[in-house]
Structures are given as C-alpha cells and as structure tokens.
Amino acid sequence: MAIDYQKEGRIAIFTINRPEALNAMNVQAARELHQAMVDFRDDPELWVGIITGAGERAFCVGADIKDMLPFLKEHLQNRPWAMPDTPMRGLELWKPLIAAINGLALGGGLEIALACDLRIASEKARLGTPEVMLGLIPGWGGTQRLPRMIPQCKAAELLLMGKPIDAQEAYRIGLVNIVVPPEAVMPTAREWAETICQAGPLAVRAAKEAMLRGSGLTLEEGLRLENALEAYLMGTEDFAEGTSAFIEKRKPNFKGK
C-alpha cells in the first residue's frame, strides 16, 4: 500500500509509505489517499487526522516524476479534474488535519502539508516548491494557499525561486506551528490530536469551516456564516453536554451529535 491508513481511537493516521522514493506521490498513492480520506471523513468515530511520511528522510517530495507527471500531462488539458479528490483540491473536509513533517516536504509534499490545519516540523525538515525548475507551477494549491498563509513576498520567494527553506525559517514566517526534534514529531502530533479530541467535535469542525470559508468572504458575510454555525451548534447534544459538564465541574462526554 502506498498509503498506510491506521485508526487509533478517535485519531486517523495517514502515512505516505514510499520511503524508497522519498515518499513521492504516484497515481496509486493519490488514489489511495482519496479513498482513505473519504473513509476518514465519513467515519463518525474518527475526529482528527495526522498525515506523515514513512522513514526518517522525507514527509513527501511531491509528484513522482516518472509516474505522476506523465499522467498529468496526458489528462489535465482535457480532463482538469482527472486526479482523485483530496484535501488539496476537491474534497471538502471539516475534520481537522495535522501534518507531521518528518523530513523533506517539497512540491506536492508541501501542498499536502498546506492542506492541513496544523503543521509540526522536524528540525531536519526542509520545505519548498521547486516546480518552476521543472517548467511547472504547484498544482495542488500551492500558488493559492501559500499567499494566504504567509506574507506575499515570502510566498513569492518560495514560488518563484524554487529554493527550499529550513524548518526554523518556516517557523519564523508562520508556515509551521512548531519545530521539534525528529523523534518528537509524531508524539507531538498525537498529543495535539488528543487535545483536539477533548473538545466538542462538531464545534471543532464548525470552527474550521467558519475559518476557511470565511477567508473568502467579506467580514459581514463571514459574521453571518459564523452566526449560522453557532446557532446550529446550540441545538446539538454536544452543546448541552458541554454546558452541563462545565456547571457540574466534570469532563464532558462529547458524542459528535
């Protein structure tokens, strides 16, 4: 399997499992990622996802040049949506995703991380978008997400020059949340996932939806979206449980209902 998909309680773990190719994404890996992400989206028992790469060298170095790029060249001009839907493009997913960046995150690999909500980077990680050196541009959202996450001049530096940056620079410009020793990447990701799992899952998803959808709206439109989502949450069992637990000074038992 190119994508190792595991379930640990409320947490789904997706491991890009092609270490011999520095976890480059081929067509099969993209299809397996789609299938795993759909299962994660539709499984009510899963609340948070973690994406990482197999081995110690790479998170993902992007598209497999020998496999993926010929496929894209053949299909994209006439069938621009030939690729399976993923969080990078086409798959609407409000459950939170954490990128555990254990090594190189280049091209499509960085774009996978950008499609996540939180990014934990190894001290040895290097991140970049080298596509222009191949005569291409990032095709999984890099040109759109980078300028929305970091200063436009830094996004331009990454996109136009094609040179990677190290983990500390990625942290300095706000591209990753935290930098940790290599051996702490997955433990930190699990710790963060468990923290999220303590909150009401419907509230977490609504917060993500409001944040992401609202970024493309005017402030007035965003506030209306926020109000609609809050009104929905107030009618859920989780809201009743959360408020009761607070009054009774106990931990809430959220059920995602």
Distance CA 164, CA 168 (A): 12
Distance CA 239, CA 225 (A): 18
Average pLDDT over residues 219-230: 97
Give yes or no for residue 91 having a pLDDT over 70: yes
Domains 3-197 and 201-248 equal at CATH topology level: no
Second CATH level (architecture) for the domain 201-248: Orthogonal Bundle (1.10)
Distance CA 62, CA 56 (A): 16
Q: Is domain 3-197 given the CATH code 2.30.30.180 in the classification?
A: no
What are 189's strand-pairing partners? none
* Domain residue extents for the chain: 3-197, 201-248
**DSSP secondary structure, 166-229, as one string:** EHHHHHHTTSSSEEE-GGGHHHHHHHHHHHHHTS-HHHHHHHHHHHHHHTTS-HHHHHHHHHHH
Q: Which residues are catalytic?
A: 111, 131
Name the amino acid, one letter, at 104: L
Average pLDDT over residues 247-254: 94
Distance CA 68, CA 73 (A): 9
State pLDDT tens for residues 98-142: 999 999 999 999 999 999 999 999 999 999 999 999 899 998 999
R_g (Cα) of the chain, nearest Å = 19
Backbone CA torsion sign across 120, 123, 125, 126: positive
Give yes or no for residue 256 having a pLDDT over 80: yes
